[in-house]
Amino acid sequence: MKSTVRLLLVLPLLASIGWPNFFSGGWGGASWHSKVKGEAVTVDLGEGKYLFALLRYVRNPEYIENLATRSLYNTTKRVWVKEAFRRVVTSQKTIVVPRKLYPLLATFEDVKDPKTVKEVNPDNLAASFGEGYRLKAITLDITDEPVTTGKVKKVLEWLGLYPEPSLGPYTNRTNNIPFYLRVTHGSFLRR
């Protein structure tokens, strides 16, 4: 089976820009608040194979909250300015996500066993899914349409109510840490 994958990210982002206050870093601190509610993009590749574009991960927990603005400005740095948010909200268009900003991609050897989660190299989908698979592009669509819900939970029935738990038992390792410890339930689902 040959397949070219185009990931379309539809992400709900609740963000407000306002005056600095004590809770957001005090005077001179951050003047924004953001919260993501939604689910990882879930792509059914057939034959029990799924590709997930994760919402967050341990190395960069605020990643998805700033993806649209960073993509518009083609930067890996935070872009938390009012003009950037205005530009995203008013664009009503498709934003191509630059390769350097791709979300963390994952799959499972067995979707019923969270410990079998594996990181997917976006430049080599064939290594995870077999010959003939490749990722063509990742795009964000800015839209007023409601975000789909329930798709990730149908595939990953074991997802819990809370975002914090990792996907497997802790180890005493300080290096070669299993991938299942670097992602959490919240990487797939944020309520």
Exposure b/e, 54-78, CB count within 10 A at least 16 = b = bbbbeeeeebbbbbbbbbbeeeeee
- Decide which of 23 and 150 is more confident: 150
Residue 177 confidence (pLDDT) = 84
pLDDT tens figures, 51-60: 999 887 556 6
pLDDT tens figures, 29-42: 555 556 667 788 89
Mean pLDDT of 143-167: 83
Residue 69 confidence (pLDDT) = 79
pLDDT tier for residue 190 given thresholds of 50, 70 and 90 = confident
* 166: containing domain: 3-190
Residue 125 confidence (pLDDT) = 93
| Start-to-end CA span in the chain (Å) | 35
When divided into structural domains, the chain yields a total of: 1
Residue 23 confidence (pLDDT) = 52
pLDDT tens figures, 86-136: 777 777 678 888 998 888 899 999 999 999 999 999 999 999 999 989 898
Q: Is residue 14's pLDDT more than 50?
A: no
- Decide which of 63 and 135 is more confident: 135
Q: Whole-prediction pTM value?
A: 0.79
Beta bridge partners of 57: 60
Residue 16 confidence (pLDDT) = 44
Per the prediction, the chain carries an average pLDDT of 78
Rounded CA separation 121/27 (Å): 41
